Each structure stands twice: as C-alpha cells, then as structure tokens.
Amino acid sequence: MNRRVPLSEDARVNSATGGGLLLWLSWWNAYALRETLVGYGLILPSLLVFLVFYYGPAIFLMYIAFFHWNIFASQSTFVGLHNFSVLIHQPVFWQSLLNTGYYVVLVVPVTTLLALALALLLRETRNLRGGGLSQALVFLPHVTPVVATSIIWVWIFDPTFGLANAVLHFLQLPQLGWLSSVHWALPSVMIYTVWHSVGLYTVLFLAGLATLPKQVLEAAQMDGVRGWRSFRRIILPLISPITFFVIVLATINTMQTFSQIYTLTGGPHGGAGGPAFSTTTDSLLIYQTAFLYLHFSLSSAMSLVLFALILTLTLVQKLIADRMVFYR
C-alpha cells in the first residue's frame, strides 16, 4: 500500500486504530522518510561544518562564560556571574564599549548615506559610457582582503610619507598624526572601514533602486514632483526595506569589526588597540583577552555582552522599522 498523499484528516483519524497505524507507517516509509533523508543528506556537509566550527564553539562559549576555565587545566569551576562582575570593574572594558559605540554611531550613518548617494549617482550614469566600470570600481574595495588593504592604508596614514598628509598639505590644512594620535586613530579606522564597505551597501541600494516601478516615477513626474521632493516622497519610502536592511547589516558588521583595527593599529608586532586604548573596541578586547592574556572565560563573558548588545540594537531597529518601513 503505497499512498503518496500528504497526511490527511482521514489518515490521522485512522492512525488511532491498528489498521490506520499500519497505513500511516507505510505512507511514512514510502514517502516522508525518503524525502527527509534526501533533504538532510543534501545539507549534511554544510550542517557538519556549521555544527563543528560555528554552533559548537558558540554554545561552548556560553558555557565557559560562567566557569573559571583554563585551557591548560583539565577541570573547570563554576563561578556564576563572577566573570561579569570582573568585567564591570575593568575600566578598559568600559573604554572598549565607548569606542565601539563611537565607531558604530559614526560609521553606520556615514556609510549608509554615502552608499545611497553613490547608488543614486551610479543609477544616473548607468547608461552612459563607463557606467558599468564605475559600478565595478565602487564595489572593488569590498572584494579586497581586509588585512592586505589595511597594510596599504597604514602607509597612506603614515604621518611623514603618507598620502593622507600629502593631501592635507596640498589643501594647506594642518597635518595629522592619524593612527599615532589618540584623537585620530579611531577616525582613521573609520575612514578605512567606510572605504572598504561602502561598495557592498551601494550595490544593495542599486538593487533596491532597480526595483522601483518606472511608471510610478513617471506618474510623479506628471504630477510635477521632481528632484528632492520626488526623492523624499516617492523614492525613499519605496526603498525603505532596503535602507532598513543596510542599516541592520552595517550595524552588525561594524560592531564586529576586528581585522582592520588589528592590522591598522598594531598588526602582528603587537600594540593593537592603541594608542592608549583609543582604538580598543569590544571585539579587539575579546580577542586580546582570550589569545594574549589567555582569560578565555572573561573573553567569553565579553562576547556574551557584545551578543546581547547587538541583539538588543537589532530588535530596537526592528521596532523602529515596523513604523517607518513600507513593504510593497
């Protein structure tokens, strides 16, 4: 009896009786089991990679955040919230939170606005000669390896020989210490991050702009609504889902920024996060606590705090979005 039908009301009623159960089992054997096995079989390779290298460590992290765990000792002791209480008494932890906040609050809006502006420009030039090339050039930085381009930017930011100061000199502006200045080190990292990531968000905005219904824009044109007004009243509301997505993605990405800070401010020779902790963000501190000072439990507790922060921020953004985003 091979009934290749979904579990219907009849089958469910019948399954209460013995005959029904057999029928249900045969249906299950013939169809659902095979479907299920094939499905899981197909995702198995990536599922394994995810379990071992992603979910496994994440769950382990939540575990050791509440223990005193030593990588060299075989046993660990439960210490409750002790790791968190150590954290809040560390000035550098607060400093790192402050740096992260400063970094996110500047990088996310600047990147989003710049990406939107670039997307609007590229949209206007897409049918001109070189339009496609411009798009590729804007996206190009994003596909370069962070560490490699960071090393180039170390040279650009060099106070004596760097391009950045050469430009300032040319513009007859005072020259800066860039990465060696307590005030300018984090902004220097921000400049690099905007340069590296804006291409991705530009492409996302371009995709959003491409879905704008042409006739609606023409209707606005005939209504005499042009320029800024048409942008604010028609284009912006219609691409609001993309804008929301870009903001959430940019927030998560910037809160997790690590590689460029590590490379720009210290690299393998140490000293990353300086000068004077001015570029020590959450993720850098997590790394240093774990792999420089080998306080894995403390570092795990920090990761949990960062996780909670990102989660809260995303939920808040979602709440705001529910009021402001218009889904067609």
Partner 1 sequence: MPSVKLKAINKSFGQRQVLQHIDMEVGDGEFVVVVGPSGCGKSTLLRIVAGLESPTSGELWFDDRLVTQVPAHARNIGMVFQNYALYPHMTVFDNLAFGMAARKTAPSAIKHRIDEVAQLLEIEPLLHIRPGALSGGQRQRVAVGRALVRSPFAFLMDEPLSNLDALLRERMRVELRRLHDRMRIPTLYVTHDQTEAMTMADRMVVMRNGRILQLGRPEELYHRPSTVFVAQFLGSPPMNLVSVKVLPDKGVAVAGKDPQVIPIPARIREQIGGRNVVWLGFRPERVVPQTDGAVEGLDFTATVHTVETLGARYHVHGTWGESPITWVTTEREGLTGSVKMKLTVPWDQVHWFDAATEERMVSPERESIPVQVGGTL
Positions touching partner 1 (CB under 8 A) are 213, 215-216, 218-226, 229, 233-234, 237-238, 326, 328
Q: How far is the CB of 223 from partner 1 (least distance, A)?
A: 3
Q: Which is nearer to partner 1, 110 or 225 (CB)?
A: 225
Q: Is 47 left (phi over 0), alpha (psi -120 to 50) or beta?
A: alpha
Q: How far is the CB of 214 from partner 1 (least distance, A)?
A: 9
d(CA 71, CA 64): 11
Q: How far is the CB of 213 from partner 1 (least distance, A)?
A: 7
- Ranges of beta strands (E only) in the chain are 67-68, 77-78
Q: Of 121, 196, 185, which is closest to residue 152 (Cα–Cα)?
A: 196
Q: Which is nearer to partner 1, 137 or 216 (CB)?
A: 216
Q: Which is nearer to partner 1, 30 or 225 (CB)?
A: 225
Phi, psi of 211 (to 5 degrees): -90, 0
Contacts of residue 319, Cβ cutoff 8 Å, sequence gap at least 6: none
d(CA 21, CA 12): 9
Residue 269 has what DSSP assignment?
G
Q: How far is the CB of 128 from partner 1 (least distance, A)?
A: 15
Q: How far is the CB of 326 from partner 1 (least distance, A)?
A: 4
Tokens 């930017």 belong to 153
Q: How far is the CB of 236 from partner 1 (least distance, A)?
A: 10
Per the structure block, which two tokens stand in for 37?
Answer: 């096995």
Q: Which is nearer to partner 1, 74 or 127 (CB)?
A: 127
Q: Which is nearer to partner 1, 44 or 320 (CB)?
A: 320
Q: Is 130 left (phi over 0), alpha (psi -120 to 50) or beta?
A: left
Amino acid identity, residue 171? L
Q: Which is nearer to partner 1, 20 or 131 (CB)?
A: 131
R_g over Cα of the chain: 27
Q: Is the dihedral of CA 121, 197, 199, 49 positive or negative?
A: negative
240 CB burial (10 A radius; 0-12, 13-18, 19+): middle
Q: Which is nearer to partner 1, 225 or 313 (CB)?
A: 225
Q: How far is the CB of 302 from partner 1 (least distance, A)?
A: 42
Q: Of 183, 125, 178, which is closest to residue 156 (Cα–Cα)?
A: 178
Q: Is 327 left (phi over 0), alpha (psi -120 to 50) or beta?
A: beta
Q: Are 87 and 93 in contact (CB under 8 A)?
A: yes
Q: Which is nearer to partner 1, 127 or 172 (CB)?
A: 127
Q: How far is the CB of 244 from partner 1 (least distance, A)?
A: 14
Q: How far is the CB of 173 from partner 1 (least distance, A)?
A: 43
Q: Which is nearer to partner 1, 39 or 237 (CB)?
A: 237
